Structure 1
Amino acid sequence: MDLGELRAIVDRLRLEGGDVAEIEVKTAADGFPKTVTSSLSAFANIPGGGLLIFGLDERRGFKATGVYDAAGCKSALATVARQNLTPPITFDVQDFTVENARVVVARIHEIPSSAKPCRVRSTGKAYLRAHDGDYELSQVEEQAFLASRDVPRFDQATVPEATRDDLDPELLLSYIVSCRAGSTSLARLGDDDILFRTGVTAGPDRTLTVAGLLTLGVYPQQFMPNAIIQASVTAGEDDAADIRALDVQRFDGPIPVMLEQALNWVRRNSRARIRRSPQGHAHDEQEYPPEAVRELLSNALVHRDLGPYSLTQAITLRLDPGQLILTNPGGLWGVTVDNLGRTGVTSSRNAWLLRICQNVRFGPERRVVEALTSGIPTILTSLRAARMPPPHFHDQAIRFTARLVNSASPVKTAKVKGSRSVNAVLLMEILRAGAATMSQLMTGTGLTERQIAYALEPLRADGLVLVEGGRGSRTVYRCVGPDHES
């Protein structure tokens, strides 16, 4: 970090008037703050860690009040990191002069999954970070962290109560035919051996596995009641005040059936628009590209956490005004948001379930999962074709969220300079619909406040976005200038 980046962060904090999920501010003018350990624990537990800034006073509009002593602050932080947390955490630290005051900035590193969760030694409590600060982990969340220390194998757990009669005959036949067609080795085996060798059954008694039931079962929810997709449409401004959600649905059955049900539900609750090709031909276009939605749903179904602590939670699918939000229990495993979909980067929380789904049909032709690493590129390609921004992925270590902003008001990229980031294009799309606060922009885009602030800076400099509201007040961002259509 350099001084310019720090000043930009301070400006963003002042505009919003509060801390953000990845940044915590402490005053430290009269000594080292005593309330720092929960933030250190939270940052160490979340993907990517976080930023801790000493020497700003949030109650005074993030005024630079300085630290009591820069060297002493760094030394005290090192002591707390080593002695007050278990396991000890690591960090990088710098100090700067901001508005004639000395400010200390520490980048807190995420600890390895094998050591999570990081706890406060004196209380044994562990924390996670949210937009409104730190919160103590629940027992279920702690179990998720502990289970992630080893390679997950919950998809290969057996379900002793289940029998072969609990498998869907049509799905089973299709699966065996597909396995034989795709492997010369499996083609030589009998049906029972194929199911055993591919993880549908396991153990000496060849009992059905969690993976086998979820993909080929007649009704897996008989044994795993919350292995479902819970869907709802958020009520809009025109709906009655006492209506909180519309078209609430619960999708169950095997994975191929849930996938088809959820896709049809999104299509039913989405708007269509008419787009004209360069040749002048008109065609209907879905609000959310079906290919992108299909891949996101497939990923959620295949990569959700199947541990006993997480099987109490459903996958949630929500259509808000302007966006689709899909959340599944369990964060990423073996990959990060930054390298999702990159060639050569493959990892799966449920390796057996993934392999089975590559031979389970979705509809008459398509597999639930087409191929390793092909899903994210397919999503990006379909969104580009629809002139939509890429999805936002948020990994919270114990849950994973994907967001799509709808294509009802297409971004006119010709007016957005080539140097603009994708995030800037996304923000312009949101602001064309009306003024928004930082919180509304975060909800509407799925971006962090840091990402939004960086993207807004050039838009403000070019007169495309106006900021209204004084320091510490409720700041509003408005689209103005030649790029705005009223």
Structure 2
Amino acid sequence: MIDLDHLEQYRENNRIEAKKAMGGLPKSLWETYSAFANTMGGLLLLGVEELPDKSLHALELPAPQRLAEEFWEIVNDPNRVSVNILSRGSLSIEETGGGRILVIRVPRAQRTDRPIYIEGDPMWGTYRRSGEGDYRCTPEEVRAMQRDAAVKTQDMTLLEDVSLDVLDRNSLCRYRARMEACRPGHISQQDSDNEFLRWIGAADRGADQKLHPTVAGLLMFGREPAIRQVFPNYQLDYREQAVPGGPWTGRLLSSSGTWSGGLYDFYCGVSRRLDRGLSQEPVRNALREALANCLDNADFHSRQGVEITRRPDNITFINPGGFRIGLPEALSGGISDPRNSALTRMLNLIDVGTGTGRGLPNIYNVWNAQGWPPPVIREQFDPERITLTLSMSAGLVVPVSSALQVPAPAQDAVQKAAIVEHLTNYSRASSAELAALLGVSRARACILLNQLAEQQIVVPLEEGNQRFYRLKR
């Protein structure tokens, strides 16, 4: 993750924390362990001090092996730390700057393990990382992590105190018509509306033997006032702009009262607006995929709503909630872990979304084929939200049919920019990971990496039989 031979070049940040630890393991170490595990992972350096100019300087730990043994004893004590997510290879004693230090590599915890907390109390002992410091999570953040850790996704919950009367039957009728067009002759089309709702996972029988909506059913087909009774901060907001910096010329807002306010009608209204002016079918499909991902992964318990903006040169999708899997895994594809799996299934039934974990790689591939700047993804905490920005610079538009004719220098520049962007957010990556990110062969990724290395922008790292790349510092 960092070059320990040049420790003075680094500063504490959201993924590096230095502690002197000359008198033993500091209490704050466990707060940082929790913070790294619940955020993006990071590196704990024990036996390192931060100088007044913010540079890092190695000290000589008097007994690093004893510190390592003490660390393992505490991290494996469930009364002190909720889960040990480290392997033996996560700790190492390293020589640097004339001294020996203890290096602890903390990965981002799997969603099923989060929140990682200390001292036996998740509401008091859960931390996250912001900048170069740790902060105690709010109860709202802790509950969001606990919801994500559940095997059943939150939208499968049956709302036994809500009746089917809150659903907009016209919205349901439109959904059924679309499904019939996508899947003509499907056996479910013979069912009554209530039976159909049960079949798609939008309703089920409660303890009173009456039908009630699931969370997914309420979100998909419910009227906005009823949805807000369950999710007080629920909001869907789409805005568009005709000229850069100009006024908003179109808006679709769930609280406007002019339409149902449910997710299905929002999806249909936004997808029609996103299609305007776009002749390339792959681009339209990629935008629908981005819209579906935004809704599939939104945490509707959050304080924030879903926001989508279309400007002349870019489209931005913002959904509340963080990643359930790491961004590298999401970009590699093949892993599907949506926050709202019942909603995902409903959209898949009308041929919206792949449901295979290939959504983000597909979007990157389409944007690369167009010669447009690579998509930019940002994960933010407190509150949790994910922002996907898709730039559509007019000067770089290339018809899909002639994508292979993109001038090589322009294509190189776009792909190299994507590599640098990725290595800025993630400290290192293999050529295979970067090939998946770009949607190119591994050989092509290696050519680009060799060129970046010759330009002294990236440097290779050898770890066993594997080679990784990082930005040169």
Q: Which residue of 2 aligns with 1:54?
A: 46
Q: Which residue of 1 aligns with 2:468?
A: none
Q: Which residue of 2 aligns with 1:208?
A: 213
The TM-score, its normalising length taken from structure 2, stands at 0.69
> How far has the Cα of 1:93 moved from its partner?
0.9
- Name the structure where helix makes up a greater proportion of residues: 2
Corresponding residue pairs, total: 410
The answer (yes or no) to whether the contact 1:37–1:80 under 8 Å persists in 2 is: no
1:300 maps to which of 286, 294, 297: 294
Amino acid aligned to 1:66: L
Q: Secondary structure at the match of 2:287?
A: helix
Question: Given the alignment of the two structures, is residue 77 of structure 1 paired with residue 71 of structure 2, yes or no?
Answer: yes
Q: Which residue of 2 aligns with 1:120?
A: 118
Residue deviations 1:282-302, cap 9 Å, x none? x9999x955433322211112
Q: Secondary structure at the match of 2:338?
A: coil
| Counterpart Cα distance in 2 of 1:248 and 1:12 | 49
Question: Given the alignment of the two structures, is residue 355 of structure 1 paired with residue 345 of structure 2, yes or no?
Answer: yes
> How far has the Cα of 1:314 moved from its partner?
1.2
Greater displacement, 105-114 / 335-344: 335-344
> How far has the Cα of 1:413 moved from its partner?
7.8
| Counterpart Cα distance in 1 of 2:320 and 2:275 | 24
Structure 1 residues 130-141: aligned runs within 5 Å: 130-141=130-141
Any stretches of 5+ residues in structure 2 without a counterpart? 255-260, 398-405, 435-447, 459-470
The answer (yes or no) to whether the contact 1:25–1:57 under 8 Å persists in 2 is: yes
Identity of matched residues, %: 20
Amino acid aligned to 1:406: S
The answer (yes or no) to whether the contact 1:51–1:108 under 8 Å persists in 2 is: yes
Structure 1 residues 55-204: aligned runs within 5 Å: 55-59=47-51, 60-69=53-62, 70-83=64-77, 85-91=80-86, 92-121=90-119, 124-156=124-156, 157-158=158-159, 160-164=161-165, 166-169=167-170, 171-175=172-176, 178=179, 181=183, 184-203=186-205, 204=209
| Counterpart Cα distance in 2 of 1:317 and 1:145 | 24
Any stretches of 5+ residues in structure 1 without a counterpart? 273-282, 361-366, 429-440, 466-476, 478-486
The answer (yes or no) to whether the contact 1:337–1:395 under 8 Å persists in 2 is: no
Question: Given the alignment of the two structures, is residue 346 of structure 1 paired with residue 336 of structure 2, yes or no?
Answer: yes
2:318 maps to which of 324, 327, 338: 327
Amino acid aligned to 2:367: L
> How far has the Cα of 1:104 moved from its partner?
2.1
Greater displacement, 142-151 / 310-319: 310-319
> How far has the Cα of 1:232 moved from its partner?
7.3
Amino acid aligned to 2:95: T
1:450 maps to which of 427, 439, 455: 427
> How far has the Cα of 1:402 moved from its partner?
4.0
| Counterpart Cα distance in 1 of 2:101 and 2:107 | 19
The TM-score, its normalising length taken from structure 1, stands at 0.67
Bigger relative CO (Cα 8 Å, ≥ 6 apart): 1
1:230 to 1:378, Cα distance in 2 relative to 1, 3 A: same
